[in-house]
Amino acid sequence: MLRQRLNMILFFAGLTLAFMSCTSRYRIDGVVETLGYEGRELSLVEFLPYRTTKYDSCTVKQGRFQMKGAADTTRLVFLCKDNRPIIPIYIEKGNAKVSLLPTEMTVSGTRQNDLFYSFLKKKIAYDNLYEDLSQKRFSMSRHGYDPHRMELIQDSIRMVVDECEDMICSFMADNYDEPAAVGVFMMLSAGPTNEVSSLVRRILDAAPDEFMRQSYVNGYISRTGYARNE
């Protein structure tokens, strides 16, 4: 009788250890060097069309915060302060590091976060270059019009736009099977209208069927009435 009880205890202990070993875990370590965060609550919130879910929360203490838990499914959520989104972050297996600095806000250390933020860094560089050229064009239009210089600036702006779109499409082509690609698509397709931009159409025209079946992408297609160009 005692032997049977001991065997039963060992059996359930083995099940518990097996379950724990199969459960993926996430850990997020954050550093804050921006004013207004000390003592405030940060949370991980998933925003879906018909549901908002809070997965974790903590308080910033001495410029640092930490969250951890189960990560059986990779999820795109937002790091929020007082329920207001700050930056997107993927909850996934591994240790992610969040930096909230006056000059930039980034997440690194896990696959999807590395993919997403490496893309974002390139996109921001193109956006800044576009903004600089646009400012030069605006200044020229106000303080003396030079047709030749204006044409050069216009050509440079078109080149930046084309290079940026090529970079985006190249990233998507390499990563259609990654959750980070859906996050990038969400960012590019966000807007007040249901009009499908030429860039989004280019992305969808080249996308594999599996990407098209992703929940957000499928919902976007249904909402906008997009049809693939054959």
Architecture of domain 24-109: Sandwich (2.60)
pLDDT score, position 141: 74
pLDDT score, position 5: 45
By the 8 A CB rule, do 26 and 94 touch? yes
Q: What is the SS3 assignment for 125?
A: helix
Task: Give pLDDT tens digits for 73-117.
Answer: 899 999 999 889 999 999 999 999 999 999 999 999 999 999 999
Long-range contacts of 208-211 (CB under 8 A, 24+ apart): 208/176, 208/177, 210/176, 210/177, 211/176, 211/177, 211/181, 211/182
Q: What CA–CA distances, in Å, run from 59 to 56, 86, 145?
A: 11, 15, 54
Q: What mean pLDDT comes out for the span 145-159?
A: 85
Task: Give pLDDT tens digits for 123-149.
Answer: 999 999 999 999 888 887 776 667 778
Residue 219 tokens, joined: 């919902």
**HEC-encoded secondary structure of 141-186:** HHHCCCHHHHHHHHHHHHHHHHHHHHHHHHHHHHHCCCHHHHHHHH
Q: Between 38 and 136, whose confidence is greater?
A: 38
C-alpha 160/C-alpha 148 separation (Å) is: 19
First to last CA, the chain: 72
Task: pLDDT band for 8, please (50, 70, 90 cuts).
Answer: very low
Q: What is the SS3 assignment for 109?
A: coil
Q: H or E element: which one contains 99?
A: strand 94-100
pLDDT score, position 6: 38
CA 105 from chain centre, in angstroms, equals 12
Domain boundaries, the chain: 24-109, 114-224
Query: Which of 2-11, 41-50, 168-177 is predicted with the least confidence, judged by mean pLDDT?
Result: 2-11
